[in-house]
């Protein structure tokens, strides 16, 4: 179940808001300028499937969003570390990269088609923790400080949309705030 928890950025132990209602999540995020929608994710893809398989299964959704927003690049992150020692060996380095607060010069758009991931958005003096699940589409506006946790044993598939041809390019803020907030395994 998708959830949204909002904290004061100075107090990660006392939630100001907590909900698993899709309408409440969308409403609160919309007020903060974040797009959050629940789409159908009924194609038979699973964590670990190739980019080609995932994009073929969701071609109409991908084409619709490209036409609507003009994205130039689309890719897939598909990880299943549950029974794969080769993938599991890469997780600590990959996870650490996403766990540092960063921003992008473009919107960061993700459509989760399997599994889950925890987006944490640092907006002003608040941190919005969004547990995204299968079927969730989230669009984090350009230059929004945030971090992402895939968990210690990731098992998810997300289609990623970009406005540039380089794909995922992060600008790290150097702020250690992410170290004070939730991790996926603690939810």
Mean pLDDT of the chain: 92
pLDDT of 21 higher than 90: yes
Residue 88 falls inside a structural domain:
yes
- Rounded mean pLDDT of 129-158? 94
- Domain extent at residue 87: 35-117+129-176
> What would the two tokens of residue 133 be?
């699940």
Count CA atoms within 13 Å of residue 130 on its CB side.
Answer: 34
pLDDT of 105 higher than 50: yes
Does residue 87 or residue 11 have the better pLDDT? 11
> What would the two tokens of residue 46 be?
């699973």
Residue 167 falls inside a structural domain:
yes
- pLDDT score for 39: 92
- Rounded mean pLDDT of 118-143? 96
- Note the pLDDT tens digit of each residue in 40-85: 898 989 999 999 999 999 999 999 999 999 888 899 999 998 877 8
Residue 2 falls inside a structural domain:
no
- Overall number of domains in the chain: 1
- Rounded mean pLDDT of 128-154? 95
- pLDDT score for 166: 66
Q: pLDDT band for 165, please (50, 70, 90 cuts).
A: low
DSSP output for 146-167 = EEEE--SS-EEEEEEEESSTT-
Q: To which H or E segment does residue 126 belong?
A: strand 126-133
Residue 56 falls inside a structural domain:
yes
CATH code of 48's domain: 2.60.120.10
pLDDT of 6 higher than 80: yes
Residue 7 falls inside a structural domain:
no
Q: pLDDT band for 175, please (50, 70, 90 cuts).
A: very high
Q: How many CB atoms lie within 10 A of CB 118?
A: 24
Q: pLDDT band for 187, please (50, 70, 90 cuts).
A: very low
Residue 184 falls inside a structural domain:
no
Residue 181 falls inside a structural domain:
no
Is residue 71 helix, strand or coil? coil
Range 138-149 burial, b when 16+ CB lie within 10 A, else e: bbbbeebbbbbb
Residue 22 falls inside a structural domain:
no
- pLDDT score for 186: 53
Residue in 123, 102, 143, 142 with CA at minimum distance from that of residue 29 = 123
- Rounded mean pLDDT of 12-18? 97
């Amino acid at each position: 179940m998708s959830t949204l928890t909002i904290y004061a950025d100075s107090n990660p132990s006392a939630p100001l808001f907590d909900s698993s209602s899709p309408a409440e999540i969308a409403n609160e995020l919309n007020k903060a300028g974040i797009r959050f929608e629940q789409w159908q994710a009924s194609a038979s893809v699973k964590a670990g499937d190739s980019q080609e398989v995932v994009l073929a299964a969701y071609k109409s959704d991908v084409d619709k969003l490209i036409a609507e927003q003009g994205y130039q690049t689309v890719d897939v992150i598909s990880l299943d570390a549950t029974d794969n020692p080769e993938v599991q060996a890469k997780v600590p380095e990959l996870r650490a990269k996403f766990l540092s607060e960063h921003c992008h010069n473009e919107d960061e758009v993700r459509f989760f088609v399997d599994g889950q991931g925890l987006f944490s958005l640092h907006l002003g003096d608040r941190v919005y923790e969004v547990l995204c699940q299968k079927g969730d589409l989230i669009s984090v506006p350009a230059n929004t400080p945030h971090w992402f946790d895939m968990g210690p044993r990731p098992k998810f598939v997300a289609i990623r949309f970009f406005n540039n041809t380089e794909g995922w390019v992060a600008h790290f803020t150097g702020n250690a705030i992410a170290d004070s907030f939730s991790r996926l395994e603690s939810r």
